[in-house]
Amino acid sequence: MVEHDLAKVGVASSNLVSRSILILLLFFTSLFSQPLYIDKTYCIEEDTLRASFFGYQSSDDPIILTIPKERVQYTVPTSTLRAAFSDHNVTIIDSSDGVVIFRRNCSLMGKADAMIKLFLKKFQEASPLVMIDEKPRISIKTSLPADFQRYELIDIVISDAMLKKNSGSFVAVFKVGDRNKKLYFAYEMNAKVMVFKAKHNLLNGKILTNDDYESVWESLDALPNRVITHEIPHNAMIKNGVKEGQILTDFHVDIKKMLSKKSSIKALLKEEGLVIEVQATLLEDGNIGDVVKIKTEQGKMLNAKILSHHEAIILE
């Protein structure tokens, strides 16, 4: 019994020593290793970036990176920064996706907020269904004019192509003295729009119901051409097969006509004050108000305007 108790004491002592060592290791690791956060984008004013710029705290503040003076935007692989800090006992916490971007003139000489506000207004006016999650990041594509502070922003022009992208360019119009001047800017943002995805495979000729698709938010950059974003049209029909999970576009969907080809219809012929009624067959699909080809019981091919589900008037 004594030996058993002594064994228990030995095990407890061993566990206590192990925990003590672990605590000491954690203490010394936290003491000598500091986390360093590497972001995707940085705004810079100076050309030489020292370790302290990235949050490194030490009496030693080595130069990590030098940005060429003529570059408005400068990109480096994250591995370059990792290598620069490899001898400084830091823990790298990386959110850069492998590439770090450095930009000058982020405040645009105090005009950044006004430009962001007008950019958002113009973008939302042109694309009201788009939801922008956060403020866009705007930067000049070339160097800012030395006298940019006296430029007065009067308009922003965004092309239709840019309305479908999370990053691109736009034109800003400024009043400078008695004349207008255009400058080109770049933007980046996180925006998405509600689209419709097929819940299962959809075959040609399928009339869409609510059970066939679901509404989801998708990034602008993930959208195919001619995507349907507002609502699925009434009487929408699949004209090109769709696979489960595929986003619906105008290429996939057609609108089923009210009257189908080969339907029987009463055709009215007005002649010298008389109305002659004949039976005819539609040779194509059509809606009320459409002019379509019909074929009478006598075999005549005529044009007729559809008046209702049951009648059409012969035009010739």
Ranges 65-69, 123-127, 225-229, 292-296, most confident: 123-127
As a whole number, mean pLDDT of residues 63-91 equals: 86
pLDDT tens sequence across 121-155: 999 999 999 999 888 999 888 888 889 999 999 99
Task: Identify the CA nearest to 139 among candidates 224, 207, 72, 90.
Answer: 72
CA-to-CA distance for 271 and 54, rounded, in angstroms? 89
Q: Is the pLDDT of residue 22 over 80?
A: no
As a whole number, mean pLDDT of residues 61-86 equals: 87
Give me the pLDDT at residue 7, please: 45
Contact (CB, 8 A) for 161 and 222:
no
Non-local CB neighbours of 197 within 8 Å, separated by 6+ positions: 213, 214, 216, 245, 246, 247, 248
Instruction: Give the global pTM.
Output: 0.64
Maximal C-alpha separation, the chain: 127
CA-to-CA distance for 32 and 207, rounded, in angstroms? 67
Q: Is the pLDDT of residue 8 over 70?
A: no
CA-to-CA distance for 89 and 141, rounded, in angstroms? 37
Please state, for a pLDDT cut of 90, what percent of the chain lies above it. 36
234 pLDDT tier (thresholds 50, 70, 90): confident
Q: Is the pLDDT of residue 76 over 70?
A: yes
Mean pLDDT is lowest, of 7-11, 50-54, 225-229, for: 7-11
Q: Is the pLDDT of residue 287 over 70?
A: yes
Task: Answer with the residue of higher pLDDT: 44 or 34.
Answer: 44
For residue 38, list its beta bridge partners: 94
Q: Is the pLDDT of residue 24 over 70?
A: no
Task: Answer with the residue of higher pLDDT: 93 or 28.
Answer: 93
Place of tokens 């060429």: 68
pLDDT tens sequence across 183-205: 999 999 999 999 999 999 999 98
Give me the pLDDT at residue 156, please: 97
DSSP 210: G
| Number of residues that make up the chain | 316
Task: Answer with the residue of higher pLDDT: 258 or 278.
Answer: 278
CA-to-CA distance for 253 and 240, rounded, in angstroms? 7
Task: Answer with the residue of higher pLDDT: 5 or 203.
Answer: 203
Give me the pLDDT at residue 168, please: 95
Q: Is the pLDDT of residue 15 over 80?
A: no
20 pLDDT tier (thresholds 50, 70, 90): low
Which three-class secondary structure state does DSSP give residue 149? helix
Give me the pLDDT at residue 141, please: 84
